[in-house]
Structure 1
Amino acid sequence: MKASRAPLHSPALYSKMATVDFDSSVDPEMDLTSDEELEREAEGFKEQGNAYYVNKDYAEAFNFYTKAIDLCPKNASYYGNRAATLMMLSRYREALEDSQQAVRLDDTFMKLKTAESILEYERMAEISFEKRDFRMVLFCMDRALESASAGHRFKVLKAECLALLGRYPEAQSVASDILRMDSTNGDALYVRGLCLYYEDCIDKAVQFFIQALRMAPDHEKARLACRNAKALKAKKDEGNKAFKEGSYEEAYDLYSEALTIDPNNIKTNAKLYCNRATVGSKLNKLEQAVEDCTKAIKLDESYIKAYLRRAQCYMDKQQYEEAVRDYEKVYQTEKTKEHKNLLKNAQLELKKSKRKDYYKVLGVDKNATEDEIKKAYRKRALMHHPDRHSGASAEVQKEEEKKFKEVGEAFTVLSDPKKKSRYDSGHDLEDDDMNMDFDANNIFKAFFGAPGGFSFEGNSSSGPGNFFFQFG
């Protein structure tokens, strides 16, 4: 009689099958009765196996299907049911053996195809994992789990790949599902730790790695991850300590060493790059600091602290357009009063940088005193006065006349406390109610005194160098 079949879900290897020997001397009529009794008993074992299978107690289901096979080794459905159970127990190659035996007994048995396809997905996943093509591994595991929904091995590999792709909540969810059914599963504990490790929760991650190693002392991945986690935290803490103590060169080197420990830990490495950038700015390595911030942002595009640090470096380098761009990004993400003020200040500095730099025109710094501004004007005005260059080419005369006017304009603003204050605060003086109309020659005469107070002497043919000043 044909036995009903429990559902089959995925592949593996089962080597030996028990057989029952019959004594040929037994009376045929009695033998028939014994066969019927054996079939009834085997069917009972199969039904018990089905019940355990439905309740997901696959170990007991396996035991009862095996008892059924021992009694009736020619029944294809018993092998098929046991193959399904073996797949749920992640014993895929044994499951494939049982499926193949079922086909030998009944060539219409179709569960072999499922077993073979799962083995193929497993093979593809192994190759893809070696190539770090984690998305392909996920695809293979999802296909395999469609047939072997309880396959912990497939679930663990899926969770690990989700973690390696940065999809930590999904990875945690899959690992937690496994641990609810088997709290001692070392692979699932390892994945939980891996997620925490990659989220820069290193202390908690180490606890999970240690727990995984207690459950599976030979778990090499957990051992390596635990070692990396401890080394990374130790080196990062050393760098932080050196920075707080003002040992910037030492801190820079320690952060650099930490960055070599585990290139896969994106979030922690982003913080290390940002920390090193902070040290770099203290050491006046502004270009290097900008590069480190950029590397941090490349690893974690949502890392606000790295944008802020890079923006400050740009401000220090007087690259105001770049600073404004970074502050805009920050303010769009976090609309705080502090970020708004930083953006406004950068925009103001950008605006100021595009105006004439009157301090540069006079050759003084922004903290110059009134006397220093006057001395600077006197020097530059005499240097660029048109009379001094009367013998030069028309092009040179035009250029010097322009500079002479700029010197007068700069002096007009910086010598007037009100105008200077508004200029320093970034206001456009042309938009103010202050009169910016001036005559450079009048300023020059007013500064040096009445006509005759000085004179340029010489002639145009003798060149611009032949002159002298007379002061009254």
Structure 2
Amino acid sequence: MSSESPADAAKERGNTLFKAGKYRDAVQAYTEAIAQDETGAPLLLLNRAAAYLALSDYRSGVSDCRLAIQKQGSEPTAKAFTRLAKCYIGLGELSLAAEAARSASSATNATPAEQTQAADVGNQVRDIEKHLASFHNYMQEKNWTLASIALDQAQRTAKLTEISSPASWKLMRATLQLQRGNISQAHSIAMDMYRSDPNSTDALLLGARVMLANNDVQKAVTQAQAALRNDPDRVDVKQFLRKCKTLASLKEAANAAFKQNHTEEALAKYAELLQLADQDAARDGDPKRFKAVIYSNRAILESKMGDYNASIADCTTALELDPGYTKPLRTRARAYLSNEAYEDAVRDFKKALEESVGTPDADSLRRELRQAELDLKRSKKKDYYKILNVSKTATESEIKKAFRKESLKHHPDKGGDEEKFKLCSEAYGVLSDPQKRRRYDSGVDDMDEMDMSGGMGGMGGMYGGMGGMGGVNLADLFGPGFANFDMGPGSGGTRFSTGGPSFHFG
């Protein structure tokens, strides 16, 4: 018959389960042993603390270590303090971990091996503190890459995984991801924290920050309200909730002012929104997607005001904040088009179309891209609309009036530029003819074949007979002085007579 006590049997079972990696079962076995053996409780508590460490249940480990130290009386062991230090590292309580490591090193009953282990843990704590200090410095410098490396180094030094890291470190990681615009990663961390502790105010607040970063202000308000109900005394939660409510009302007011054509009011509110969104960004994370929408909305307003350079700048900022956002691409393309930066417009329309395949916007984007490509093609040729200083939607009457004005201004008999006068005549010859104008507007490649093969005298009937230009009588345009229209002999050129000095097209 075995003389082994129930407590000893439970302890041995716990040791066997621990070695097998069955830590939860080991915790249960050690608990049975502790209940049956008061005198052996300190050692059993430290064994159970080791199992809690393996399960990343650091708070329970701290509780067991502190109780074991208490039960050890006036001479607690170095082993107890070293294990306590490790549990504090897991909780991110580095000052308490350093204190426990010092107590382990100074324990009078410590063996050389235990003193070495205590010194190693103390060095580990100092290294972690150094890496976390680097993390905060890099965050202030907005060097997200080095900040991430520093946090990784702290995690490796602590011998922790992302899942087993302290909640405070997870918040650091999530804030870093928000600063980098990695909203899905930050959301994943928030969900992990919430699953670990559904009553965690930190997890609820982090979720609210993720919602704001994702441009869902109303959900951010709701989530922050839940966090405040969970802990009504949290000052940072109150501040964030107030910020989100103000952002929501400001955004609504700015968009309403835009729709009502109160442009100055809308611009002022958009600027106020962006300033407020940047407040406490180091703590709350940079709400890049939210800001991208505000920049995009303001860019549309600026284009409407004709300030295309400002619109382009705001669209560029929006795209830097949220590269996958299509709307500012389209707005910028239109602004480039208005600025006659046709190659830039074509590039943006193409990219917007690539990102909009299968969406309701795809067809309209194709049409706008086609028009931009035509404008680019036309820009490489003569721009007849610009020559006559009319818009592309000018009526026949407006074109006729513009031709009269520009031709008189550049008429050589009036001291004008003969080449510009010829260009005005050429432009009018195309734009005054509906068929030629349609072909010109469509950007067909055979522009040079539009009845131009006969030189100046054969410009599609531009000088179509005595007194005519493009089918319009010169006397109607310039008065009876232009009725004396002389084509000149042979190929000697075309001559106009206005009763004053005559000029000759070479």
- Give the TM-score of the pair, scaled to structure 2: 0.70
1:353-405 deviations in Å (ceiling 9; x for gaps): 332234555666653437964994798399657xx59xx9xxx9xx73x5565
Q: The residue matched to 1:303 in structure 2 has which SS?
A: coil
The equivalent position to 1:447 in structure 2, one of 467, 472, 479, is: 467
Q: Deviation at 1:168?
A: 2.4
4+ long deviations beyond 6 Å: none
Q: Deviation at 1:434?
A: 4.7
Aligned to 1:281: 303
Q: The residue matched to 2:467 in structure 1 has which SS?
A: helix
Q: Deviation at 1:350?
A: 1.7
Q: Deviation at 1:127?
A: 5.2
The equivalent position to 1:249 in structure 2, one of 251, 260, 264, is: 264
Alignment-mate amino acid for residue 138 of structure 1 = L
CA contact (8 A) 2:352 2:365 kept: yes
1:195-236 deviations in Å (ceiling 9; x for gaps): 221111222222332333344444343333222222212111
CA distance in 1, matches of 2:89, 2:212: 32
Higher mean alpha-carbon deviation, 48-57 vs 255-264, is at: 48-57
CA distance in 2, matches of 1:153, 1:405: 76
Aligned to 2:185: 170
Higher mean alpha-carbon deviation, 136-145 vs 227-236, is at: 136-145
Aligned to 1:419: 436
1:256-293 deviations in Å (ceiling 9; x for gaps): 22121122322212111111121222222233222222
Alignment-mate amino acid for residue 484 of structure 2 = F
CA distance in 2, matches of 1:85, 1:201: 38
Q: Deviation at 1:113?
A: 1.7
Higher mean alpha-carbon deviation, 311-320 vs 135-144, is at: 135-144
The 5-angstrom pairing of residues 129-278 of structure 1 reads 129-132=136-139, 133=143, 134-147=147-160, 149-263=164-278, 264-278=286-300
Alignment-mate amino acid for residue 443 of structure 1 = Y
Aligned to 1:87: 89
CA contact (8 A) 1:46 1:78 kept: yes
Greater RCO (CA < 8 Å, at least 6 residues apart) = 1
Q: 1:106 to 1:218 in 2, by over 3 A?
A: farther
Aligned to 2:372: 346
Q: The residue matched to 1:146 in structure 2 has which SS?
A: coil
Aligned to 2:492: none
**Root mean square deviation, CA, Å:** 4.0
Give ranges in structure 1 of 5+ residues lacking alignment: 8-36, 457-463
Q: Deviation at 1:144?
A: 4.7
CA distance in 2, matches of 1:443, 1:257: 61
The 5-angstrom pairing of residues 275-354 of structure 1 reads 275-335=297-357, 336-354=362-380
Matched, 1:108 2:113: yes
Aligned to 1:33: none
CA contact (8 A) 1:409 1:438 kept: no
Q: Deviation at 1:47?
A: 3.8
Matched, 1:357 2:386: no
Alignment-mate amino acid for residue 421 of structure 1 = R
Q: Deviation at 1:423?
A: 2.0
Aligned to 1:467: 500
Q: Deviation at 1:346?
A: 0.4
Alignment-mate amino acid for residue 43 of structure 1 = L
CA distance in 1, matches of 2:402, 2:54: 98
Alignment-mate amino acid for residue 174 of structure 1 = I
Larger Rg: 1
CA distance in 2, matches of 1:305, 1:96: 53
The equivalent position to 1:121 in structure 2, one of 128, 131, 150, is: 128
Q: 1:406 to 1:118 in 2, by over 3 A?
A: same
CA distance in 1, matches of 2:374, 2:186: 46
Give ranges in structure 2 of 5+ residues lacking alignment: 1-11, 20-36, 279-285, 474-481, 487-496
Q: Deviation at 1:415?
A: 4.5
Alignment-mate amino acid for residue 418 of structure 1 = Q
Aligned to 1:43: 43
Q: 1:79 to 1:271 in 2, by over 3 A?
A: same
Q: 1:408 to 1:280 in 2, by over 3 A?
A: closer
CA contact (8 A) 1:381 1:408 kept: no
Matched, 1:76 2:78: yes
CA distance in 2, matches of 1:374, 1:239: 42
CA contact (8 A) 2:201 2:227 kept: yes
Aligned to 1:380: 407
Q: 1:45 to 1:331 in 2, by over 3 A?
A: closer
CA distance in 2, matches of 1:96, 1:324: 62
1:423-461 deviations in Å (ceiling 9; x for gaps): 233224446575642443992762269xx96289xxxxx
Alignment-mate amino acid for residue 446 of structure 1 = M
- Give the TM-score of the pair, scaled to structure 1: 0.74
Higher mean alpha-carbon deviation, 75-84 vs 432-441, is at: 432-441
Q: 1:169 to 1:114 in 2, by over 3 A?
A: farther
CA contact (8 A) 2:333 2:345 kept: yes
Higher mean alpha-carbon deviation, 372-381 vs 95-104, is at: 372-381
Alignment-mate amino acid for residue 291 of structure 2 = N
Alignment-mate amino acid for residue 112 of structure 2 = D
Q: Deviation at 1:183?
A: 1.8
Alignment-mate amino acid for residue 306 of structure 1 = P
CA distance in 2, matches of 1:364, 1:204: 50
CA distance in 2, matches of 1:379, 1:57: 86
CA distance in 1, matches of 2:381, 2:205: 60
CA distance in 2, matches of 1:312, 1:333: 17
CA contact (8 A) 1:137 1:161 kept: no
Higher mean alpha-carbon deviation, 358-367 vs 283-292, is at: 358-367
Higher mean alpha-carbon deviation, 301-310 vs 183-192, is at: 183-192
Q: 1:423 to 1:126 in 2, by over 3 A?
A: same
